[in-house]
A = this chain, B = another copy of it.
């Protein structure tokens, strides 16, 4: 018997679209026992909200997220607003007994995220943070292969997330389109926005990070604020590079920047182990590169696995071998797993608590970038 799950969306931007798509189509592909309903959308900008809500077929609109949280007919609150607003909304939603799904990063800092974790745990409400790349089938396949011991002992974990959209000094900071450049709204620059994805995947696949040192840089020191029109100091990190040690003895290198010309959403990762290596690239997200050292010598190489077969993670629900899926499917998978978690009682990861660890590492990166010293975690 399929249950209805009423979703209340906070926000109408890029992430709200990606999440709405997932809520809207998950039932077309996955049998989870739940049927999400786009019940309400909330935002302060009424005209933008109306357009968004109509486009996605939200049944109702609220100009005030507090009002939406109070509604009895809302089961889950989905938070798709800038980072500085996550905590207040999430805590209120938890107190109101709603399930809470929060766009990543959980908060601007670990200190800000801690009360969020407490709130959902005290309320005992299902909760999840949208580190969606775990559910790219190729990444899930890598996780499964590492867990199955296909790489043996791990020596190296390497990840980068490269972009190029802020190279021009004319890009402003702040406002609806560029809040990610405003340290007040975002908490940090590439560290919280991009490296956080790399870190979430890394600790999921390779376990905890025990120490790190980082180099951070702000290439453009001043930018006009989109709302005030005034030039002001840039507080975010434009680029960050990290050397790290994992608890399992392997070495990690991480890098992120918005100044790598030619890279749009250049999230890549590679893991080197005793028995083999695995690599992945978001630009070709349906592929895994696998070097299997157990193959007979003369025929060894990097195997390009096209992750579109029925026995690949999540793929049995989509099309037929060879037909690729895209970025937004990772969100559909995350919703499917969240709903499965409701049914089975085993919550889908990453929960708020899981995601708090990523905030802790991000804090260490920013701190090390300033001090030049190794930080123990």
Q: A245-B215, A253-B253, A322-B163 are in contact. Are A272 and B299 (CB under 8 A)?
A: no
Inside 8 A of A265's CB, which chain B residues have their CB?
320-323
Q: Which residues of B contact A215 (CB under 8 A)?
A: 213, 243, 245, 251
Which residues does chain B contribute within 8 Å of A28, judged by CB atoms?
17, 20-21, 24, 55-57
Question: Whole-angstrom distance between the alpha carbons of A349 and B167 in the complex?
Answer: 34
Is A304 in the interface zone, CB < 8 Å from B?
A: yes
B213, A243: Cβ atoms closer than 8 Å: yes
Q: Which chain B residues border A299 with CB–CB below 8 Å?
A: 145, 290, 292, 303, 305
- The number of chain A residues touching the other chain, given as a range, is 35 or more
Shortest CB-to-CB span from A155 to chain B, Å, is 4
Measured between C-beta atoms, what is the minimum distance from A161 to chain B in Å?
10
Q: Return chain B residues, CB-CB under 8 Å to A163.
A: 322
Q: How far is the CB of A201 from chain B (nearest CB, A)?
A: 16
| Chain B residue with the shortest CB-CB distance to A328 | B319
Least CB distance from A153 to B in Å reads: 9
State the copy count for this chain: 4
Q: Which residue of B lies closest to A144 (CB)?
A: B298
Could you show 12 A-B contacts with beta carbons less than 8 Å apart? A28-B57, A155-B257, A155-B260, A164-B272, A261-B275, A261-B277, A264-B308, A264-B323, A282-B323, A283-B324, A298-B311, A323-B326
Give every chain B residue within 8 A of A249 (Cβ-Cβ): 219
Hey, which chain B residues are within 8 Å of A219, CB to CB? 155, 249
Which of A55, A213, A285 is the most central at the interface, judged by chain B CB atoms within 10 Å of its CB? A213
- At the interface, yes or no: A255 with Cβ under 8 Å from chain B? yes
B261 close to A273 (CB less than 8 A): yes
Is A373 in contact with chain B by the CB < 8 A criterion? yes
A156 contacts chain B at the CB level, 8 A cutoff: yes
Interface centre among A282, A285, A322 (most CB of B within 10 A): A322
Interface string of A242-277 (1 = CB under 8 A from B): 010100010101010101111111100000111111
Residue of B nearest to A372 (CB): B374
CB-defined contacts of A303 to chain B, threshold 8 Å: 295, 299-304
Q: Mark A7-40, 1 if CB is under 8 A from B, else 0.
A: 0000000100110110011011001000000000
Interface presence of A44 (CB below 8 A): no
Is the beta-carbon distance between B283 and A260 smaller than 8 angstroms?
A: no
Contact check, A290 vs B301: say whether CB atoms are below 8 A apart.
Answer: yes
